[in-house]
Chains A and B, each alone.
Chain A
Amino acid sequence: MKVVNNKVKSIDGLGVMKGRKAFTDDFAEKDALIVKVLRSPHPYARVVSVDDKLALELEGIEMVLTHKDFKRIPFTRAGQGYPEPSPHDKFVLDEYVRYIGDEVLAVVGINDSVVEKALSLIKVEYEVLEPVLDFETAKDNQVIVHPEEEIHEMFDIGFKPKRNIAASYGMEIGDVKKTLEACDYVIKETFYTQAQAHVMLEPHTVNARMDYQNRLIIYSATQTPFHVRRIISQGLEIPLSKIRVIKPRVGGGFGGKQAIHGEMLVAYVTYKTGKPAKMVYTRKEVFESSYSRHPMRIEMTLGADKNGVLKAINCEALSDTGAYGEHALTVFMVTGSKVLPLYNKVESVRFVGDIVYTNHTPAGAYRGYGAIQGNFALESAVDVLCKKMDMDPIEFRKLNMMKEKETSPIFEIMGEGTAGTAMIMETCKLDECVDKGMELIGWKDKYPRKESENKIRSVGMAIAMQGSGIPYIDMGSATIKLNDDGFYNLMVGATEIGQGSDTVLTQIAAEELMCEVEKVVVYSSDTDLTPFDVGAYASSTTYVSGNAVLKAAKELREKMLVEAARILGIEVDKVGFDGKEFWDEESDKSISLVDLSNQITYSHEQKQLQVTSSYVGHKSPPPFMAGFIEIEIDKETFEIDILHYVSVVDCGTTINPMLAKGQVDGAIVQGLGMAHFEDVKYAKNGRMISNDLLNYKIPTRLDVKKLTTVFVDSYEESGPFGAKSVGEIGIDTPPAALANAVYNALGVRITSLPITSEKIFKEIRRN
């Protein structure tokens, strides 16, 4: 391979570094109306009345929008395929507000200062209601977060709003109780994972205008432009054909931009007034009023026989979806479906639980998507079990973990919101990942710990898996067009959000068309101009959209060969092609690609060669990895210093090894954030305390010492040039690896995230 699996530079790095217009707000109209939201100061309240008289008298205020301005159409902001597996439980604006930060009303005016003035002049009378703030008491609580009658599920997801249940799920293979009774060793631990904020550096941003054809043009910093178009059409009853969503460059998403945020209000204002409008979330709004990761309680029971064979896993979980049920069911299911198959030799496995409503900021999609929560619980529990059995945790994993050509019955039973898809692991190099990781971290010398006078150094590890798109649901498409002078346009619905998908998809096209990357001009994610793609989520872009690009490139090559055969006057199967030149295998006749493209554009039998292809996965081959951490803990303060993180990843072929490494490095640091630094904290009254970057600490460059990220050789036949996904897998292992390292250092088991010095101190005190 010449282009694929090579360190090709990002195609857009130079322009972005030079500060050229690229991001959503760079394209806002200069005279765009400013849309700002008045947000609820109460965790749960009914809006009794709004007095906006003084606000409307201000010069420059265009309108004040309340729930009375909108038809009551329940929808979900989740940004998923249709029908969504999330409950339709949200209105553009509602009489009820369900968390501190929820939307009460919107003010629209000509500039920031007048809109802010207006916001301060509006008086809202609330009937303050008792909130549900503890997710462990939310189910069947007398306070009901969603009492309204119009809300509904699209298909059976276990939606029982009168019981504060957004969704439920349960499955059992074998008989867990019976298997556990027969086990020689059984352990049970309860784990808690916290809400984590995405902290993409570009806040949620949207702007809109009507164009000269009187169509609504929306620029949105979104991971899912086609879903945005559909949801806006449904929520505002604007014909789909009237809406164009353009996704410019996006400044990070991590799942946070899968859902729609300001789009509905801005679209409404522009459609109603005919004037351009825009909205940029403040950082406080990004924290308080978008969504974060689902906090969970996970009870994990493991049973093994005397030979160290894991026989049963019982996982009972509870997830907090906050005020709205975005991704409630599907995140929860991934906690089982992309975690439990890691140990596929079990006789019985059970996964069951509810996702409940509370009056906190909603939870939603976030890189890892339930797998990081489940991985922390399972991979911590495995070390607890090993301790009980007095078995080496690496030896245990090697004995019990998934191996190549094996499967798990879970794949067939659990999908995302629906049943799953059976599949064999055609590629699974976990054993190699573990061996290589041990070597790179120096496990044999360092496990479990080394003590000096004031410090203890220790190591810990965990294994993980993810998926590559959602089989039979996620669809990606690509259009490739041959231009005169022999270069190509590649149009993809796939959504570049900073992860490098434009570069990677260009490489795939260039490889198949046997040309340099520079000959392929990519344009992504514009609902008028590019073919459909579900968007950037579920680790689908390289695998699903990449397969669509490969298919399109193959078909275009076939078409070019037909044209070359016609021009050369020979049979198609006699045409040779090297990316630049077509020739007759049996004579010295030839024509260059440049000449061919010019001829069919301008002079003989003119036509446009263009192909559109789509791809839907028939399986979701998981990438696998082993993560190893080395830490140093201060014996007095229990301060944790993360010295080194080793990631050994099987993601199939790395289409671009540099960008793949960037995905893993970034995800590891974000995972370390969840493991050690980050915590969305609420005061007792339901107010988010950690609502800015001073109170919510993501890892800075001083916190990152050494990352070693390597890829093992692996070739997934079903992937484009052998690739699986790599976007999410990196985030999963740090929480459990750190918990295990802390245990190896001090003999205390921290079962709640983040793992902090304070928690270690308390745990040591308790013992």
Chain B
Amino acid sequence: MKIDLIVNKQKKTFLIEPNEYLLDVLRRYDYQSVRRGCDNTSCGVCTVLLDNKPVPSCSVLAIRCEGKEITTVEGIADEAEKLAHYFGELGADQCGYCNPSMALTVYSLKQENKNASVEEIKNYLVGNLCRCTGYVAQHEAIKRYLGDES
């Protein structure tokens, strides 16, 4: 079946199976920045913005997104670049498999609360697991990113 999605501000028609999840559809259509870490919303790696809110695309049926706006990290390229700068500056990046999903979630936090404290950052991102970094450097980098008004 066919559905229309607005991906990164571009309206496109997607051919999908009725039981297909958004993650699989996006990857099939070459949005390779959206990646799989698990299949039950417990790691956060597959996060995209659905109408500007972070959701785990592994568990959202594509058919339910008809007509909705989906943002992948390519849709917030400038913000991702800023975050990458602070990650680099603080050594907060390692494998980076989760980084595009982190960029989207952090971007969403920035829309809601630019002055988030480390505790608020932790709570907002609790669903985004990372096995490499031990988290601490990420939180400092995210704090600096949130304070970046440029």
Contact = CB atoms under 8 A, between A and B. Distances in A.
A128 B99 CA distance: 45
Contacts of A666: 94, 131-134
Interface stretch (B37-45, B62-70, B108-116): B37-45
Nearest to A694: B42
B76 to A, nearest CB: 9
Interface residues of B, dominant DSSP: loop
A593 B89 CA distance: 30
Contacts of B24: 112
A437 B35 CA distance: 40
A704 B118 CA distance: 12
A14 B73 CA distance: 12
A658 B91 contact: yes
B73 A249 contact: no
B139 interface: yes
Contacts of A700: 126, 129
B43 A693 contact: yes
Contacts of A500: 94
- Of B34, B85, B137, which is in contact with the most chain A CB atoms at under 10 Å from its CB? B137
Interface residues of B, number: 58
Given A254-B131, A665-B133, A698-B131, A19 B37 contact: no
Contacts, number: 178
A13 B88 contact: yes
Interface string B53-72: 00000000000000000001
A259 interface: no
Nearest to B73: A19
Contacts of A17: 73, 80-81, 83-84, 87, 93, 96, 99-100, 103
B93 A13 contact: yes
Interface string A281-309: 01110000000000000000000000000
Interface in B105-128: 122-123, 125-126, 128
A251 B96 contact: yes
B88 A693 contact: no
A499 B134 contact: no
A102 interface: no
Interface stretch (A4-12, A210-218, A744-752, A753-761): A4-12
B131 A18 contact: no
Contact of B32 (A19, A113, A669): A19
A501 to B, nearest CB: 11
Given A14-B88, A669-B134, A701 B125 contact: yes
A113 B20 CA distance: 9
A116 B33 CA distance: 25
B43 A201 contact: yes
B134 A668 contact: yes
- Of A658, A659, A667, which is in contact with the most chain B CB atoms at under 10 Å from its CB? A658
Given A666-B94, A701-B126, A16 B88 contact: no
A18 B45 CA distance: 14
A704 B93 contact: no
Contact of B35 (A25, A250, A667, A694): A25
Interface string A249-268: 11110100000000000000
Nearest to B82: A17
Nearest to A645: B134
Contact of B137 (A112, A284, A665, A670): A665
A497 B137 contact: no
Nearest to B85: A14
- Of A12, A16, A250, which is in contact with the most chain B CB atoms at under 10 Å from its CB? A16
Nearest to A17: B84
A692 B38 contact: yes
A249 B96 contact: yes
Given A283-B37, A701-B139, A662 B132 contact: yes
Contacts of A252: 94-95, 97, 131-132
Interface in A517-539: none
A25 B100 CA distance: 15
A199 B131 contact: yes
28 contacts: A12-B96, A13-B96, A14-B84, A14-B88, A17-B81, A18-B33, A19-B32, A19-B73, A19-B103, A20-B33, A21-B32, A200-B131, A201-B129, A201-B131, A202-B37, A202-B97, A203-B37, A498-B94, A498-B96, A498-B132, A662-B134, A665-B134, A666-B134, A667-B134, A693-B129, A694-B40, A701-B138, A704-B134
Nearest first, the 4 A-B pairs at minimum CB distance are A19-B33, A498-B95, A658-B91, A251-B97
Given A18-B81, A201-B45, A251-B95, 4 more contacts: A16-B93, A19-B73, A30-B30, A701-B126
